[in-house]
Amino acid sequence: MNAAVTAARLGAPTAFVGRISTDEHGDAIWDFLLASGVTLAAAQRGPEPTARAIVELSPDPVFRFEGEGTADASMTDLDLAPLGPGPHLLHGGTLGIFRGSTAEVLARLIEAHEGIVSFDPNVRPQIIDDRARWFRYADRWIDRADLVKGSDEDFGWMGLGPAELLDRGVVAVLRTLGGDGVELHRVNEAVRHVLAPAVEVVDAVGAGDAICGSVLVGLWERDITDRTALAALDDAAWDVLLAFAVEVAAITVGRPGADPPYRSDVPV
């Protein structure tokens, strides 16, 4: 959702595909997406509750996740017809790829998808109670992905780094480095490193999503919609894409919450 909001606010036609609860939290999510310009023509509503991550701060921080039988994990089908013929740039990751019936629906979607597939594992170890199940679905995403974004924490938990992902057929891997920017890894090409601007971090939530959303906007603007075109993208174009992405992420981390900027807010 954060990646979709980023892309929409930056001016790309963007849809969110998922199941959102009809409870009050779901209403807030639905309204937030619409207010950000995200199309919901292929999204679903359902009576299942909204998944919640709860942090109790006293006396010591305690995290718990309430995600049993929630709307986001309860998709049983999916119809992209309301979005038109495409080719679409499809991005996914985090909890949706392995939880409930949604995991199989999304895995089948990407395996039949003809456009670019972007994957951000965004691993949450405290929520993953079945590592084998996670990999059963993540492997299907990796085997289909053209673009993968991850942090060192993601790669370490997975036991897969940029080199291994490229060996499995991924065209480009983005390694995020926090305040140090982002690296681009490709087969038989030198690693490229784009530095992030120095900013005061208010809230790091949504920084990786801002990177993903802004890179996908850059690909859309250049009409890069398939694997062949992505592989042909040259160094100069990637440098521009990533410089824009780190600017968007820098603005996002300077605000509380996952609140990516609109295009008019970005200086490059």
Q: Is the pLDDT of residue 268 over 80?
A: no
Query: Is 114 a member of any domain?
Result: yes
- pLDDT-based confidence at residue 57 (cuts at 50, 70, 90): confident
Average pLDDT taken over every residue of the chain: 95
Query: Is 41 a member of any domain?
Result: no
Name the domain count of the chain.
1
Helix (H) or strand (E) holding 82: none
Per-residue pLDDT tens over the stretch 184-226: 999 999 999 999 998 999 988 899 999 999 999 999 999 999 9
- Report the pLDDT value the prediction gives residue 62, as an integer from 0 to 100: 84
Q: Which of 34-38, 50-54, 62-66 has the highest mean pLDDT?
A: 34-38
137's CB contacts (< 8 A; 6+ apart) are 97, 98, 103, 104, 107
* Spatial distance between the Cα atoms of 91 and 118, rounded to a whole number of angstroms: 5
* Spatial distance between the Cα atoms of 143 and 192, rounded to a whole number of angstroms: 24
What CATH number is attached to the domain comprising 193? 3.40.1190.20
User: Do 172 and 191 touch, CB atoms closer than 8 A?
Assistant: no
DSSP 243: H
Query: Is 48 a member of any domain?
Result: no
| Amino acid symbol at 131 | R
* Spatial distance between the Cα atoms of 95 and 39, rounded to a whole number of angstroms: 21
Mean pLDDT of 263-267: 91
| Amino acid symbol at 18 | G
Domain span at residue 110 reads: 2-14+68-265
Per-residue pLDDT tens over the stretch 131-163: 999 999 999 999 999 999 999 999 999 999 999
* Spatial distance between the Cα atoms of 82 and 228, rounded to a whole number of angstroms: 26
* Spatial distance between the Cα atoms of 201 and 185, rounded to a whole number of angstroms: 26
The angle, 0 to 180 degrees and rounded to 10, between the axes of the packed helices 102-112 and 131-144 is 20
Query: Is 28 a member of any domain?
Result: no
Residue 246 vs residues 2, 11, 167, 255: alpha-carbon distances, Å = 15, 17, 26, 15
- Report the pLDDT value the prediction gives residue 222, as an integer from 0 to 100: 96
- Report the pLDDT value the prediction gives residue 184, as an integer from 0 to 100: 98
Please tell me the least confidently modeled range out of 15-19, 53-57, 146-150, 181-185: 53-57
Query: Is 164 a member of any domain?
Result: yes
Q: Is the pLDDT of residue 94 over 80?
A: yes
A 10 A CB-CB count for 20 gives 23
- Report the pLDDT value the prediction gives residue 38, as an integer from 0 to 100: 98
Query: Is 62 a member of any domain?
Result: no
Mean pLDDT of 52-56: 88
